Amino acid sequence: MYKKDKWIIILIFILVSLISYFITFDLKQISGEAITIISIALAVYTASFSGLISSPLLRLMRRKQDVILMNKTQLGVLESYLRFSINIGLICIIMCCLIKLFPNYNIDGNTSYIYSYRVFSAIGIGVLSINIYCIWLLSRFMINRQLRN
């Protein structure tokens, strides 16, 4: 992955997680929709890579050196983005499933439970925001490669 994108991902995760923690945004409320969006994105990633395998663009990307990461080909860069996006998507789906297992938000005023729930929820929202960024990033990356090559 490009260094710039790594920094943007870290920044998005920290900012969104902090904001969602302080405004007590609940991941449980949107976990079903998040699972649906990420599942569709994972299917699109798989289909786009499968479509790329049968195209002449694959041979071109395999030979062409990337302009930013000189030690990788364009295909290698695309693979690293896809691998990261798939992994973070699976993490998000797991977190959304786990948040549904938590009992109701306020159990007898147990403060440690409330804080751990809020932290887990905020981290889940942060991971979801990274997924949305990755969807945009890979869409842009694939469209640019198709148009340029």
For the segment 81-103, the average pLDDT, to the nearest whole number, is 92
Cβ atoms of residues 131 and 36 within 8 Å: no
Q: How far apart are CA 124 and CA 116, in angstroms?
A: 12
CB 38 within 8 A of CB 88: no
pLDDT category of residue 94 using cuts at 50, 70 and 90: very high
Asked if 142 contacts 50 with a C-beta cutoff of 8 angstroms, the reply is no
Instruction: Kindly report the pTM of this predicted structure.
Output: 0.86
User: What pLDDT score does 54 carry?
Assistant: 78
Q: Can you tell me the mean pLDDT for 120-133?
A: 95
Assess whether pLDDT exceeds 70 at residue 104: no
| pLDDT for res 37 | 94
Of 57, 78, 74, nearest in space to 65 by CA: 74
